[in-house]
Amino acid sequence: QDRLSRMIKDSLELPVSTVTVRRRLCEANLFTRIPRKVPLLKKRHVQKRLQFAKEHINWPKEKWRNILWTDESKVVLFGIFNVQHI
């Protein structure tokens, strides 16, 4: 809605607030939605994780210290790192 109000301001040179755009979209039964977060793991991913775990079960602690764990760093796979409305 912010982007739409900016586009209206720029193209039509009309001062339009984001609230007005949101209200008009609601009146037209057009609502934004936040996509549901679902895990990207498929059945084969789970199987590969299990296989990896079994293959590395006897690794010494020194080897595990060289692993970059994704929960210790910011990793963005798709788009920008914030809420995305669709």
- Which tens digits make up the pLDDT trace of 22-34? 888 889 988 877 7
Number of domains in the chain: 1
Which stretch of 11-15, 17-21, 78-82 has the lowest confidence by average pLDDT? 78-82
Domain membership of residue 50 (yes or no) is yes
The whole-angstrom separation of Cα 40 and Cα 47 is: 14
Q: Is 1 exposed, middle or buried (0-12, 13-18, 19+ CB in 10 A)?
A: middle
Chain center to CA of 53: 27
Domain membership of residue 27 (yes or no) is yes
Domain membership of residue 33 (yes or no) is yes
Average pLDDT over residues 57-84: 75
Write out the residue range of the structural domain in which residue 47 sits: 2-72
